[in-house]
Structure formats: structure tokens, C-alpha cells
């Protein structure tokens, strides 16, 4: 049996010396050291040996197993090392190559214009006030001097959730809520940015959802001249120091008197061009002195306090500022359009 074990050892070592792959190595491990291998069969036959032979043959069998396992472990370590080296080589990153530049984003042009407008008015002592987009009919219409039977409601075709709840058509409800919250305290100087909703057919100049910024000032002895000075300061900071304004009489239920405000065309300097339709002026916002009825409903005595309000569409301001001809560009997520504002 001793000779058989030595022969088994030589046979195994000879086969192991010619191993060409890890799979072959695993196959030989099973062949010689597995439960059905020749070494296991020899050990099972040790029961037939005498008591003196068993320890001798057992030691030889252990030596044979150890020799075979040593060669297998050595080759397994070599294969593992080679596999690791191959993987590292395949996954190697050449740090000398230039990196892949990440795409730089930019502030959306509407967000940028909103920030600019807020900065201008904050610089004039205003604070920013916000309110809900889903609004009560009372705040959106009635408290702004638009009772349910008022014909001016037809000017704003609205999205109603219920008879008393709708998507706000203007940010003016924030003004009413602010007056209620202040409970007659003055001064009030706020601007109210936010989204508004009207049932318009989308085209180059209309959108069912758009951004609006309104302003409100209430105090003692507030005059129309204060409104004009405020708006002149605003447009000159937004469009340049040579910009002029023109105020034309108009009608809004929540202001009296009311005006439409135009700015001199920045494209032609007021000379007349296609942008301003040869008039030299561009309409940008509506404004006026706060109607006494609105002051009363907000908790202010119109005999003691006066105020002015104004409202502008952010898209309109942005279109004039950047020469954009179609309002839909702001909302179609076209990267070709948005990339133009990376460095603006």
C-alpha cells in the first residue's frame, strides 16, 4: 500500500505540473482529493491493515495529501494573482488623460428675471410675500372689488376647482392676505411673485400658466407720483438708465385711477421698429392707486390711508429684456434655447 501511495503521489504531481487553467486545477483537486478519489479509497482500506502498519501507512497518506495540496495551493495562488493583475490591467484608469467635462447648467431665464426684479425692489425697501396658488374666490375676486356679478370677471376665464375654489388668476390675493394679516398697520411695501393660471389658448404671446409679480404699497399720503417714481426706478435698473416710461389711463377694478405703463423700446431707443410696431413704446405692466373699496375690505380706512399697486408678467419682462419672440420657449425644455443663457 505504501508503494501505491507513492505512485499516486508521483502521478498527481506529474498531472499537476502540466495544468493549463484554473478549471483543470479544480478538476485535478476533485480527482485526487475528492470523496471518490484514489487517496480516499486507500484510506478506506486501512481497516484491513495490522495495528503496526496503520500508523505508518496513515503517515504516508497524510504526506501524500499534503504534497498534493501544497502544489494545488501554490498553483491556485498563482492563478489568483494572475487573475487580479488581469482585472487591474483591464480596469486601469489612465490619469494622464484629460477628464470628461461635466455639463454646466444655468439659471432658467424666468428665474433669473424674477431674481433681478426681487433684488431691485428689495433694494427699495420692499419685502417678498407669497401665497397659495389654489385660492378662494373671495381673495381672488371679491376682496379685490370684483363681486360675483361683476362684468370684469369675464376678462379672466378661470380654472375652478369648486364654486368657491379656483387656481388663482393673479397674485393680488397675496396683497389682500397681507393686509388682513397686518390688521391696519403701516407701512406695507411688498412684492408678490408666483404662478397664475387663466384659461388661455397657448400661442406666441399667451400661456394658460405664467409668472406674475405684483407690488403693493400702503401708507399715509401715498400719491400717484410715488408710483411713477417707483416704476421709473425699476425700469431704469432693469433695462438701463436711459429708459423712459409712459403712463396711459386704463381700467382695473381694484385700482382707481388705473394706468397702463409703457417703456421706451430698448431695440430702437424710442425711434420706432418692428419690435415696438413703430410706436417707440412697449407695454410692460398695469398699475394704479389702490381702490378705496379694496382698502376697506383689507382693514384700512381709505380716508386715512392711500396706496398704489402694480402687476407685471415676468415672461413679458423677460421677452423684452432678451428679445424672445415666443412665450412657449420658456416651457418646452428645449436645451438649444436654454443654453443661450449659460453666460447671460
Going by the annotation, the residues of the binding site are 256
The grid coordinates listed for 243 are: 429708459
CA distance 36 to 32: 8
Contact assessment for residue 294 and residue 307, using Cβ atoms and an 8 Å cutoff: no
109-123 and 314-322 are packed helices; what angle lies between their axes, rounded to 10 degrees? Answer: 100
CA distance 230 to 224: 10
Contact assessment for residue 340 and residue 323, using Cβ atoms and an 8 Å cutoff: no
Query: C-alpha angle 271/277/279, rounded to 5°?
Result: 45
- Cis amide prior to 187 (ω within 30 degrees): yes
The grid coordinates listed for 164 are: 368657491
Strand, helix or coil for residue 151: helix
273 CA to centre of own chain = 38
Element (H, E) at 306: strand 306-313
| Residue listed under C-alpha cell 369675464 | 154
- C-alpha torsion angle, residues 15, 16, 19, 25 (rounded to 10): 120
Binding region for Mg(2+)? 256
Strand, helix or coil for residue 49: coil
Listed in order, strand segments (DSSP E) in 156-254 are 165-167, 188-197, 209-219, 245-252
Amino acid at each position: 500500500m505504501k508503494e501505491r501511495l507513492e505512485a499516486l503521489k508521483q502521478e498527481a504531481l506529474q498531472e499537476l505540473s502540466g495544468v493549463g487553467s484554473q478549471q483543470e486545477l479544480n478538476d485535478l483537486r476533485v480527482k485526487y482529493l475528492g470523496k471518490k478519489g484514489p487517496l480516499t479509497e486507500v484510506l478506506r482500506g486501512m481497516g484491513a491493515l495490522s495495528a503496526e502498519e496503520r500508523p505508518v501507512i496513515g503517515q504516508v497518506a497524510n504526506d501524500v495529501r499534503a504534497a498534493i495540496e501544497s502544489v494545488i495551493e501554490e498553483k491556485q495562488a498563482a492563478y489568483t494573482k494572475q487573475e487580479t493583475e488581469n482585472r487591474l490591467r483591464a480596469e486601469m484608469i489612465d490619469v494622464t488623460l484629460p477628464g470628461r467635462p461635466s455639463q454646466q447648467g444655468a439659471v432658467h431665464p424666468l428665474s433669473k428675471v424674477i431674481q433681478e426684479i426681487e433684488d431691485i425692489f428689495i433694494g427699495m425697501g420692499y419685502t417678498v410675500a407669497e401665497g397659495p396658488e389654489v385660492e378662494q374666490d373671495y381673495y381672488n375676486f371679491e376682496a379685490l372689488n370684483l363681486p360675483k356679478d361683476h362684468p370684469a370677471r369675464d376678462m379672466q376665464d378661470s380654472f375652478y376647482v369648486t364654486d368657491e375654489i379656483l387656481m388663482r388668476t393673479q397674485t393680488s390675493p397675496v396683497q389682500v392676505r397681507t393686509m388682513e394679516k397686518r390688521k391696519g398697520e403701516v407701512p406695507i411695501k411688498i412684492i408678490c411673485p408666483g404662478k397664475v393660471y387663466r384659461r388661455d389658448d397657448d400661442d406666441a404671446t399667451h400661456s394658460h400658466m405664467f409668472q406674475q409679480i405684483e407690488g403693493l404699497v400702503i401708507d399715509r399720503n401715498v400719491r400717484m407720483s410715488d408710483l411713477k417714481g417707483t416704476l421709473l426706478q425699476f425700469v431704469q435698473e432693469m433695462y438701463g438708465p436711459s429708459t423712459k416710461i409712459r403712463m396711459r389711463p386704463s381700467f382695473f377694478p381694484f385700482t382707481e385711477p388705473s394706468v397702463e405703463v409703457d417703456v421706451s423700446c430698448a431695440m430702437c431707443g424710442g425711434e420706432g421698429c418692428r419690435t415696438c410696431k413703430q410706436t417707440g413704446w412697449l407695454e410692460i405692466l398695469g398699475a394704479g392707486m389702490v381702490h378705496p373699496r379694496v382698502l376697506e375690505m383689507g382693514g384700512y380706512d381709505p380716508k386715512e390711508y392711500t396706496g398704489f399697486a402694480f402687476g407685471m408678467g415676468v415672461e413679458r419682462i423677460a421677452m423684452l429684456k432678451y428679445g424672445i419672440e415666443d412665450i412657449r420657449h420658456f416651457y418646452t425644455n428645449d436645451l438649444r434655447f436654454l443654453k443661450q443663457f449659460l453666460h447671460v
